[in-house]
Structure 1
Amino acid sequence: MAEEEVNYATVKFKKKKHSQSKVKKEETVYDEVKVKNEAKEQTPDTNDKTSDRTMSRHRHYKQLACCLGIICVMLVLGIIAVTVYQKQLAENQELKKKNEVLETEKKNLTEIIQQMTTSGNELNVSRAQWSINAYCPKDNNNRKCNPCQAGWEYVEPSCYATNDANRDQWKTWEEARENCTGKISDLPVVINEEEKKTVSEKSWNYDGNKGYWIGLRVEDGKWKWLDGRNLTNSSWIDLSPSDGHCAISVQNQGFKSVSCNEKNRWICKKKALSV
């Protein structure tokens, strides 16, 4: 009310002419002032209510957003948990299958080992009996053991067998070695000059044969014995190493280099029996 009276008093300071219009203006001004004042009086309440509504809405939105966020997090965690579970389930099934396969293989191997053990024992007994008969033949119900079996010549500490096969039965180097292996022996590995002389003496030269296969061939550009040793005395062989070549022993001529695919007679060697 104080502000209305001040505004009204201010209007009275205008000139007295046209008093009626002044009065009307005064009333108009007064009314306008009053309206303005009323508006001013009402504005704070309206603003407060609007602000409260806005804040309430913000709170609701925040709560809703928070709820939605929690739901999203729970969904993500649920998806992760399901994925991990499915992965572990698949891995467990895979491990179970592998375990079943391994159990089956173990069972099969066990059966094979048992069969091999049984047959191996029988084979060992057969070999032992064969060795006894070969090295210790019966003579009038008495056995006399020899360092070498029948058909082999004893030159301490080894036994040698010279294979004088007919021409149509000559063999390549590989075939000759297989024949010796079947006799529990191998092509000769010559250790020293004395053994070289022994092997040379058994390399008889007849029926057009070139010589007898021995356990010496070219590997990686070097002459090597079957036991892995290199040939250290180059004077023992007539030619330098050449791929695909093996050595034969020729009587009174030492060792010669020929193609491993040639067919020749051969000599086998194995350790003598101690008697």
Structure 2
Amino acid sequence: MANLMLLVAAAIWGLGFVAQRLGMDHLEPFAFNGLRFVIGALSLLPLIWVMQRKGRLKGVSDKDILRRVLIGSLACGGILFIAASFQQVGLLHTTAANAGFITGLYIVLVPVLGLLLKHSTGTNTWVGCAVAAVGLYFLSVGDDFSISYGDGLQLIGAIFWAMHILAVDHFTNRVAPVVLACGQFLVCALASFGVSLVLETTTVAGVQAAWAALAYSGLVSVGVAYTLQVLAQKHAHPAHAAIILSLETVFAAIGGMMFLGESLSGRALFGCGLMLLGMLISQLPLRYLVKSRHEKAA
């Protein structure tokens, strides 16, 4: 059941790239991000209320909770704003499939960036990075060794998504994860609205026309998928969870083909396959494989 919930979450997040593309038919990137993250934050309020009633929010009753929530929300929300901005603007110049696979590189970038924090990194991570890098070459780098503007933005965004995961990992030891999520979404929304007010023109008609994409991106991608992930990871092995969630890249490609009429060349498909393989290798330690074989033999 836990693996099924994770698979549904991955599908929701993957198809979210399609909603983000469609939403920008009516709204500009920062306005869309601001609205979807506000919706996402509001969608978590019922979950926070239920968890608070059941006493499941670690540290919520502490006297310094407001300070810790504020610091964590500002730090994580600030990085989230940068990552989401690169992703959303990049979607104007690349396909949902490319965006999904390149963004998914955060899975292998997290342990690499973790070296700066003195985290241990296994051999499988380096092998996975190498395979994913070759895949990125086939997917995005042209014959003249140039990378498209949109793919370049997604690649920069992937670095910030990795930084965001490390930041969340740091602050969830101090603040209840769901509270931190709600706080960072609000910070990201406010920052997005600030930029939008300066650079963009948003109309009520545009918001109304994009309501379906906003509802999916905010309510379903954040509220539903986040809840499924939280519930599932209580019962799923971390390695299994990471592998299943990485399938969001595949669903992004499927969604782009089904709903946006996108297509991938043979070269691009080969690159996507290598990137997915690299992600899987990086998330499945060799020692875990050995352990699993021993358990089956026993």
TM-score range, shorter chain: under 0.3
| Structure (1 or 2) with the greater strand fraction | 1
Q: Which TM-score applies when normalising by structure 2?
A: 0.16
Q: Report 1 or 2 for greater relative contact order, CA contacts < 8 Å, sequence distance ≥ 6.
A: 2
| Structure (1 or 2) with the greater helix fraction | 2
Q: Which TM-score applies when normalising by structure 1?
A: 0.17
